[in-house]
Amino acid sequence: MKPDMMVMLTTDSNIDRRIIQEADSLESAGWKVTIIAMPKTSKLFSNDERIIRLPFYSATEKNSVQLFLLCFYRWISKYLPFKSAVETLIRKIAWLTTDMEEFYLSVFRNVVDKYKPKVFVAHDLPTLPAAIYAAAKCNAKVVYDSHELYAEQQFSDLEKRKWKQLEQKYIGHCNSIITVNNLIARELEQRYNLHDKVYVISNALPPKNRVHINSKIFHQKFGLEDHAKVVLFQGGLSLNRNLEKLVESMAYVRNPLINLVILGNGPLKSLLQSITIKHNLSKKVYFHQAVTQEELLNYTSCADLGVIPYQATCLNNYYCTPNKLFEFIAAEIPILSAKLPSIENILNEFQIGLTADFASSSQISHALDSLFENEQILKKYKNNLNKASKEIVWEDKKFTSIFEGYK
């Protein structure tokens, strides 16, 4: 007997860990999963055989101008100063001239038409119209996995309004909705009058991904002394994450043993490197290229402290529980985070870290110095992390139960 088919849609090129975990869980429950994603743009991206990559030019002729503008923006933005006048202008033209609903429908339509699964899973808002369209053609169910509060990101007022209208138009057609934490679930329920349709599945890692390597990868790579302390930020280097303040804070840290490692890539990287040079921090701040998801926890576990410095510049940031939170927990390293409610709730409940005001470099440096001066509190966090890492895990059975009635 052939397994029932499920198709996941994502606009990611680098497939989010959450999507892979969902696919693994569903396949263990007897589904055959296909993931339709954007083209590869990096060697780091997954070679998972379940992933079908969209062709670079899969949009219709009607959308060829918009596609060209978006592709041109993505290409040119790599070579222009971030948030420069030219970069900002090209971005505005690319997005203001594009009907996002029609564009993403056009991008996915030719590929999804080839599949007739029992269920389509739309990962984040841009793929939802395509999932609804494809499901209607083959009488399939639709599950919407809202990884974040998509319409409340750091967009212009016009962009926010368009995304909200799009979500309002389609979300009521979904059979089930999944999101990453209780605050976002409550917001979706209240905003769209949803009842008993929103499930919370956190971004925690499966138990098999627990690591306890505690090696000296960063010490060896950057020539740090054995007793040096590593503060780690891992993830995309983009705006509204207080990364500039985090780097600057190292100029004010008193403890000579504290070093900052920034693991990842992104448009802000050159600016952060410039700040490092400006403040003469080349022996305190170190940059490491992004690594594959399979390698990541080996690196995470080598740090002494993980930082989540996000700014609450929009509702999405304020509500966020990013992957790195759960990666730090899995690697059992204490956490220093900005004051964001969902993260603060977890840190307080399990006593595995603390929050601080990341609005200024001096406040960040004070928090770092205070933490590493207090060996007792760090030891307590480490002990509690051993328990937390066993309790905060991927909810496999809860997740797969959502789909039991769709076979």
Convert the pLDDT of each residue in 196-244 to its tens digit: 789 999 999 998 766 556 579 999 999 999 999 999 999 999 888 999 9
Euclidean distance between CA atoms 253 and 257, whole angstroms: 10
- Go through the domains of the chain in sequence order and give each one's CATH number: 4-53+99-203+395-406 (3.40.50.2000), 207-391 (3.40.50.2000)
Structure tokens at 298: 């080996």
C-alpha 5/C-alpha 20 separation (Å) is 16
Q: Over the chain, what is the mean pLDDT? A: 89
pLDDT value at residue 239: 80
Cα end-to-end span (Å), the chain: 13
Whether the predicted model's global pTM rises above the 0.75 cut: yes
Q: Does 65 or 152 have the greater pLDDT score?
A: 152
| 129-155 mean pLDDT | 95
Farthest CA pair distance, the chain = 65
Lowest-pLDDT choice from 34-38, 105-109, 182-186, 397-401: 105-109
Tokens of 295: 């390698």
* Amino acid 297: pLDDT: 92
**pLDDT at residue 60 is higher than 50:** no
